Chains A and B, each alone.
Chain A
Amino acid sequence: MSDAPDLLTQARTAFDRALQRNIKGLGYFASSAPALGACAKDLLIQRGTMNLYHYRPLVDDVYRVPLLLVMATTNRGYIFDMVPGQSLVEYLLNAGFDVFMLDWTAPRADEKTLAMEDYVLDFIPTAIARVQAETGEEDFTLVGYCFGGVLAALWAGLHPDAPMKNLVCFTTPVDFSKMDMFQAWADRRFFDVDRLVDTFGNCPGDYLYTAFDLLRPGGRIAGNIRLADNLWNDDYVRSFRMFDRWTSDILPLPGEYFRQTVKQLLWGNELHAGTMHVGGRRVDLGAITAPFLHVTAEHDHIVPSAASAPLIDMVGSTSKEQVTLKGGHVSLVAGGNAIKRLWPKLVDWLGERSE
């Protein structure tokens, strides 16, 4: 007799969910993705592909040292500021940090000549100067995500005397020879980067999106089946749409910048070899002396740990820490996993170094 309620409950749940799937499935296709961006912000600079934002403080007393987030050049910065309760920026603001973000936009046709030099020797220093002017503080903290970390590290390696108080990199590749999939696809026997750039001008976002998507060949199909299975669950659908929008919102890259990335980093592995030059100057990561935190993800399918692991030894700081957290490339910085692991760690680490 005791078996009947279990079977009945299970059958009822299955029926309810099937019904909800059908009802909400119609709503899914009829509605747009949720609006993203939880925090109020002011656009300070919009030039070339750079946008510098200043988030409005949420507390009356902030840490002395402002914090500048540098986003990866292929992705939009709203991964750091999705919706209230799921925003790293909001978390940092509530913890008392003065937060700025260097975000990127798609290059226009005439911006195909933007190069690594523009990013490292113009956009980043311009953003830093504005942060200093806005806050009246010389010191600042740089936080780079993925290729944003590469740009931040390149700038820091070229400016060892700058008043950078802290450097934080999230899952930042440095040994590009260990990025197996990208290495295979960019095999110079088959991949003519000059032809691609000369034909398209800028490297198309679709091209990059396909490459990222192929890193997990079963991911998209399985993800869509899971979505259909969970259509009854509003929280799941909301979260899926946020992340799906972000992962498919890949930015094109300026042609010259893409050409340099392929030739200097993917083919030449110059950053790891210590032969990387930007604007004619050699980048020396060993010259970085500011406290350094590098956070990597245990299951990162985009930047494998072998590609990011050498960074900690290459940076010259005496105060440095490498942390590997559970999660993947994206779940490291956003979503439930990040809220539990990365964000508190970041606030703890930065708090005592931002006074």
Chain B
Amino acid sequence: MPSMANPPDPGALFRDMLGQWEQMTNQFGGEALKTGEFARVMQGANAAAMQAQGATHQVMDRALAAANMPSRSEVADISARLARIEEAVARIEGIVMAQAGIAPPPRPKPKRTRTAPTKS
């Protein structure tokens, strides 16, 4: 019985209930999600979504080709090629700067002589 000196905290009660609800949901929900039935439904929904996405891509590709426009995947490929070119330019820039002697001076390196503290 809580005394008046230590009145029950409704907030603490709520937090306790929330913790129990979470534990139960994780336990029983987890068991339900582990069943073959759930896997079948989930993967069925995924397969339907993939089929829809594949069909949409095909339709869009045809429509964009008819309008003489690049598709998203073609733009993504161009972007990827540009990224590779940028990387190559950065590497070449680094080499040129090093050869010209204008590369930033290397940072001082720490000594590598540290030993583990002895345990008493």
Binding site for B on A (CB under 8 A): 2-3, 6-7, 10, 14, 46-47, 56-57, 59-64, 96, 98, 108-111, 135, 137, 180-181, 184-185, 187, 189-192, 195-196, 199-200, 207, 214-219, 221-222, 225-226, 229, 301, 351-352, 354-355
Do A185 and B42 contact each other (CB < 8 Å), given the known contacts A14-B11, A355-B114? Answer: yes
Q: Point out which of B24, B34, B42, B87 has the most chain A C-beta atoms below 10 A from its C-beta.
A: B42
Assess the A226–B39 pair: CB atoms within 8 A.
no
Mark the stretch among B61-69, B73-81, B95-103 that contacts chain A: B73-81
Q: Does B116 contact A (CB under 8 A)?
A: yes
Chain B nearest Cβ from A223, distance in angstroms: 9
Assess the B112–A137 pair: CB atoms within 8 A.
yes
Q: Does B70 contact A (CB under 8 A)?
A: no
Do A217 and B43 contact each other (CB < 8 Å), given the known contacts A14-B11, A229-B11? Answer: no
Chain B nearest Cβ from A105, distance in angstroms: 11
A60 to chain B: closest residue by CB: B110
Assess the A196–B110 pair: CB atoms within 8 A.
no
Assess the B113–A64 pair: CB atoms within 8 A.
yes
Assess the A192–B11 pair: CB atoms within 8 A.
no
Assess the B30–A215 pair: CB atoms within 8 A.
yes
Assess the B110–A59 pair: CB atoms within 8 A.
yes
State in angstroms the CA–CA spacing of A301 and B76 once bound together: 36
Assess the B77–A217 pair: CB atoms within 8 A.
no
State in angstroms the CA–CA spacing of A173 and B113 once bound together: 35
Chain A nearest Cβ from B68, distance in angstroms: 22
Q: Which among B9, B44, B50 is the interface contact of A196 at CB below 8 angstroms?
A: B50
A354 to chain B: closest residue by CB: B116
- When distances are taken between beta carbons in the complex, the residues of chain B under 8 Å from A221 are 22, 25
Chain A nearest Cβ from B42, distance in angstroms: 6
Assess the B4–A61 pair: CB atoms within 8 A.
no
Number of A-B contacts (CB under 8 A): 133
Assess the A3–B29 pair: CB atoms within 8 A.
no
Assess the A187–B114 pair: CB atoms within 8 A.
no
- When distances are taken between beta carbons in the complex, the residues of chain A under 8 Å from B115 are 355
Q: Which among A216, A225, A351 is the interface contact of B26 at CB below 8 angstroms?
A: A216
State in angstroms the CA–CA spacing of A168 and B29 once bound together: 34
Assess the A199–B113 pair: CB atoms within 8 A.
no
Do A109 and B77 contact each other (CB < 8 Å), given the known contacts A59-B110, A226-B18? Answer: yes
Chain B nearest Cβ from A123, distance in angstroms: 15
Assess the A96–B36 pair: CB atoms within 8 A.
no
State in angstroms the CA–CA spacing of A196 and B54 once bound together: 10
- When distances are taken between beta carbons in the complex, the residues of chain A under 8 Å from B14 are 229
Assess the A110–B80 pair: CB atoms within 8 A.
yes
Assess the B18–A225 pair: CB atoms within 8 A.
yes
Assess the B18–A222 pair: CB atoms within 8 A.
yes
- When distances are taken between beta carbons in the complex, the residues of chain A under 8 Å from B113 are 61, 64
State in angstroms the CA–CA spacing of A354 and B7 once bound together: 56
- When distances are taken between beta carbons in the complex, the residues of chain B under 8 Å from A56 are 107
- When distances are taken between beta carbons in the complex, the residues of chain B under 8 Å from A137 are 112
Assess the B111–A62 pair: CB atoms within 8 A.
yes
Assess the B38–A46 pair: CB atoms within 8 A.
no
Do A98 and B110 contact each other (CB < 8 Å), given the known contacts A109-B77, A190-B39? Answer: yes
Assess the A190–B43 pair: CB atoms within 8 A.
yes
- When distances are taken between beta carbons in the complex, the residues of chain A under 8 Å from B6 are 6
Assess the A218–B26 pair: CB atoms within 8 A.
yes
Assess the B5–A355 pair: CB atoms within 8 A.
no
A-B CB proximity, top 6 nearest? A218-B25, A217-B29, A351-B116, A190-B43, A222-B22, A3-B4
Do A46 and B87 contact each other (CB < 8 Å), given the known contacts A56-B107, A184-B36, A192-B43? Answer: yes
Q: Does B83 contact A (CB under 8 A)?
A: yes
State in angstroms the CA–CA spacing of A2 and B114 once bound together: 60
Assess the B53–A181 pair: CB atoms within 8 A.
no
Chain A nearest Cβ from B72, distance in angstroms: 9
Do A219 and B26 contact each other (CB < 8 Å), given the known contacts A10-B9, A181-B33? Answer: yes
Assess the B5–A195 pair: CB atoms within 8 A.
no
Binary contact track B82-97/A, C-beta < 8 Å → 1, others 0: 0100010000000000
- When distances are taken between beta carbons in the complex, the residues of chain B under 8 Å from A3 are 4-5, 7
